[in-house]
Structure 1
């Protein structure tokens, strides 16, 4: 992920942005766009490429690539838990969550 994609991802998460398919392709959230009638054949083709690689090799490569991120997350775990606990128990957040839950209940009843 380059710096531009990282920044776009960060903004998308913070703003709760929903991307169109072409936007998702542009920012690297999806690998390719295919016409609806070719979705199954394209997916099968992609899966056959991945399945041609031995499981243990694919798993080892994936683990090695993600290790720095996992290490960073584990190192900050306790602080993240404290921050989340502090955040989620704020009166304003509890009020917002309550209003959101009521909206969901109303939707479900309709």
Structure 2
């Protein structure tokens, strides 16, 4: 988003919206995190039903406030649907990136594993699930679908519907905001701070 034009940010944000809707609207995904997952990376992980994060000095969270952005309501609701209102409220206010143990403690991720065990951990989860009797899997699938895509307030489908009803407005607002000098200046300082930290 740094140094980009309105059209570039609008195109990126529109693609990101569609990716999230596709992922969040379908069941049975195992998300894998190989490193830091701020902002969009965290959102995509939250859209999965089983999340595995690598051990180490990594962080995951919606850290938009650190660069002067308020996370859109659909991002907030996605996090809230996973870790609850209070944890989400605090996380967004602080722009917090959770360490792997912290993320596991609050349910942001389900498993923390060594880097070389990320894929095997996902495979083990799927294998264990498939060991269940077929009738249980089928019943669970339909029950899950009713839960995940029902029309109840604050559930996944409601969150998806909120965004789908205003895709253009959300992308337009984001692109307009992110191209303002005040944001670009703040982002420049943030990028420079990250560069210093990585040295």
TM-score tier after normalising by the smaller chain length:
0.5 to 0.7
- Correspondent of 2:175 among 66, 70, 85: 85
Counterpart check, 1:95 vs 2:185:
yes
Query: How large is the RMSD of aligned CA atoms in angstroms?
Result: 4.1
Q: 2:170 & 2:128 partners in 1: Cα distance? A: 38
Query: In 2, are the aligned partners of 1:24 and 1:30 still within 8 Å (CA)?
Result: yes
Partner of 1:16: 95
1:64 aligns with 2:143: no
Provide the C-alpha distance between the structure 2 equivalents of 1:81 and 1:15, rounded to a whole number of angstroms: 24
- Note the residue ranges of structure 1 that are not aligned, 5 or more in a row: none
**Structure ranking higher on relative contact order (CA contacts 8 Å, 6+ apart):** 2
* Total equivalences in the alignment: 105
Larger radius of gyration between Structure 1 and Structure 2: 1
Q: TM-score, normalised by structure 1?
A: 0.58
How far residue 70 of structure 1 moved from its aligned partner, in angstroms, is: 1.1
> Relative to total residues, which structure has the larger strand share, 1 or 2?
2
> Which residue is 1:6 aligned to?
85
Shift of 1:94: 1.5
TM-score normalised per structure 2: 0.38
* Contact 2:82-2:107 within 8 A present in 1 as well: no
